[in-house]
């Protein structure tokens, strides 16, 4: 097969994105900017997978997908990049998303990272991107992103969806309010999650569509079109609200005082709850050989593994072990029990 000429490549590019190029807000110049853009999506669950699909189809040239979790059957109701085979194999979401995107747009670069975003790795994972998109499900990670983005002057988009509720907000450091301006501390009490309040896939798609459109505005340089409000919709009750974020708060710890405690790792727990009756253990620097661990665990319960995860079932507990030693233990929200199980079967 002969190599394609530059003209042929250009023609195919113009054809693939022709309907987007026809849109006056993007045009041929904007499409070129998208092709040369680098975007990170932190979290590839419901919102993150929808964002990844939309931006990949729009021709964003480089996507870095960061997610610590694996696909389960309950994800398929709303997480658009995954299918039943991914759930059956407990495929890491970042790896499954990368594979699926390659099937519909092989021309873009997708870089999956099956890991937590932490103060230790955030510079390596986000240091060279132009925009960060929030597909997470917890304020701990969002405050970490906010610290990094404000300090490094990188725009990011906050997203949330639970029940029928969808919310999003653009954060342009030095221009708009940041997350800490609006929420100096995480909401008190136990926040609702998809595991406690459920979620409509339409709410996910609304927040992802809104955020993806704002991402395109930022990437093509349409600064006058970027929304400077936090907007929320309840699709079931038809309620809608909008709060101005046009100006940073004068006494904001992050924007004004330039204090970044989350980036420093202050108070970050070694073990965190991650929903769905489970606990995540942030163990690191413990490379795991799945074949050796499988042999070791077989006398104690059922074991299976692929190249990405090892799953171990023992009585009422299910442990999912990752190659770096991180684990998600399902069947308890008691961190002491989770740590005990990890120490017993993996090591202290």
Q: Are residues 185 and 249 in the same domain?
A: yes
What pLDDT sits at residue 1?
41
Q: Where are the beta strands (DSSP E) in the chain?
A: 38-42, 62-67, 109-114, 131-134, 156-162, 165-171, 229-234, 239-244, 271-273, 278-281, 302-305, 310-314, 317-321, 327-330
CATH of the domain at 163: 3.40.50.720
Q: Are residues 101 and 224 in the same domain?
A: yes
Q: Are residues 334 and 239 in the same domain?
A: no
Question: Is 53 domain-assigned?
Answer: yes
Q: What is the domain range of residue 318?
A: 271-345
Q: Are residues 100 and 143 in the same domain?
A: yes
What pLDDT sits at residue 88?
92
Question: Is 8 domain-assigned?
Answer: no
- What's the CA dihedral at 122, 126, 127, 130 to 10 degrees? -160
Q: How many residues does the chain have?
A: 348
Question: Is 3 domain-assigned?
Answer: no
What single-letter DSSP state applies at residue 148? H
Q: Are residues 244 and 102 in the same domain?
A: yes
Q: Are residues 254 and 277 in the same domain?
A: no
Please give the average pLDDT of every successive group of 10 residues along the chain, which has 348 residues: 61 92 97 98 96 98 95 92 94 96 97 93 97 93 97 98 95 97 79 76 96 98 97 96 96 96 79 73 80 93 92 93 90 91 88
Q: Are residues 320 and 181 in the same domain?
A: no
Q: Are residues 275 and 307 in the same domain?
A: yes
Question: Is 319 domain-assigned?
Answer: yes
What pLDDT sits at residue 158?
98
| Total count of domains within the chain | 2
In the residue annotation, 194 being an active-site residue is answered as yes
Q: Are residues 286 and 259 in the same domain?
A: no
Of the candidates 210, 229, 264, which is a domain's last residue?
A: 264
Of the candidates 264, 296, 315, which is a domain's last residue?
A: 264
Of the candidates 264, 279, 298, which is a domain's last residue?
A: 264
87-113: buried (b, 16+ CB within 10 Å) or exposed (e) per residue? Answer: bebbbbbbbbbbebbeeebeebebebb
Q: Taking a C-beta distance cutoff of 8 angstroms, is the pair 329, 278 a contact? A: yes
Q: Are residues 84 and 103 in the same domain?
A: yes
What pLDDT sits at residue 5?
66
Task: For the sheet with 109-114, list strands across it.
Answer: 109-114, 62-67, 38-42, 131-134, 156-162, 165-171, 229-234, 239-244
What pLDDT sits at residue 182?
95
What single-letter DSSP state applies at residue 320? E
Q: Are residues 86 and 189 in the same domain?
A: yes
Q: Are residues 97 and 212 in the same domain?
A: yes
What pLDDT sits at residue 269?
65
CATH of the domain at 290: 3.30.310
Catalytic residue chosen out of the listed positions 178, 194, 252, 255: 194
Cα 293 from Cα 345, distance rounded (Å): 9
Helices (H) and strands (E) in the chain, counts: 14, 14
192-225: buried (b, 16+ CB within 10 Å) or exposed (e) per residue? Answer: ebbeeeebbeebbbbbbebbbbbbbbbbbeeeee
What pLDDT sits at residue 10?
76
Question: Is 5 domain-assigned?
Answer: no
Question: Is 27 domain-assigned?
Answer: yes
What pLDDT sits at residue 6?
62
Question: Is 78 domain-assigned?
Answer: yes
Question: Is 237 domain-assigned?
Answer: yes
């Amino acid at each position: 097969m002969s190599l394609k000429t530059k003209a042929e490549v250009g023609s195919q590019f113009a054809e693939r994105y022709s309907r987007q190029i026809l849109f006056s807000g993007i045009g041929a110049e904007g499409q070129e900017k998208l092709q040369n853009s680098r975007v990170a999506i932190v979290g590839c669950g419901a919102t993150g997978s929808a964002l990844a699909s939309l931006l990949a189809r729009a021709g964003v040239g480089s996507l870095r997908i960061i997610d610590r979790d694996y696909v389960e059957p309950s994800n398929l109701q709303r997480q658009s990049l995954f299918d039943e085979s991914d759930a059956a194999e407990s495929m890491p979401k970042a790896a499954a998303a990368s594979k699926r995107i390659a099937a519909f747009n092989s021309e873009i670069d997708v870089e999956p990272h099956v890991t937590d975003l932490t103060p230790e790795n955030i510079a390596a994972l986000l240091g060279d991107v132009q925009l960060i998109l929030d597909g997470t499900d917890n304020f701990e990670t969002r405050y970490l992103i906010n610290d990094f983005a404000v300090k490094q002057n990188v725009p990011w988009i906050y997203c949330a969806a639970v029940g029928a509720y969808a919310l999003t907000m653009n954060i342009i450091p030095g221009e708009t309010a940041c997350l800490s301006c609006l929420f100096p501390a995480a909401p008190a009490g136990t926040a609702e999650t998809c595991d406690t309040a459920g979620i409509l896939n339409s709410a996910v798609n609304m927040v992802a569509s809104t955020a993806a459109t704002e991402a395109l505005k930022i990437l093509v340089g349409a600064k006058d079109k970027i929304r400077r409000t936090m907007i929320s919709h309840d699709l079931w009750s038809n309620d809608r609200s909008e709060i101005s974020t046009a100006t940073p708060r004068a006494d904001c710890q992050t924007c004004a005082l330039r204090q970044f405690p989350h980036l420093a790792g202050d108070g970050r727990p070694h073990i965190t709850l991650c929903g769905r009756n489970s606990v995540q253990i942030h163990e690191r620097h413990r490379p795991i050989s799945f074949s050796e661990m499988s042999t070791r665990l077989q006398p104690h319960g059922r074991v299976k593994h692929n190249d990405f995860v090892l799953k171990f079932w023992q009585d009422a507990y299910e442990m999912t072990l990752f190659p770096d030693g991180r684990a998600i233990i399902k069947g308890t929200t008691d961190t002491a029990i989770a740590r005990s199980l990890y120490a017993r079967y993996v090591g202290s």
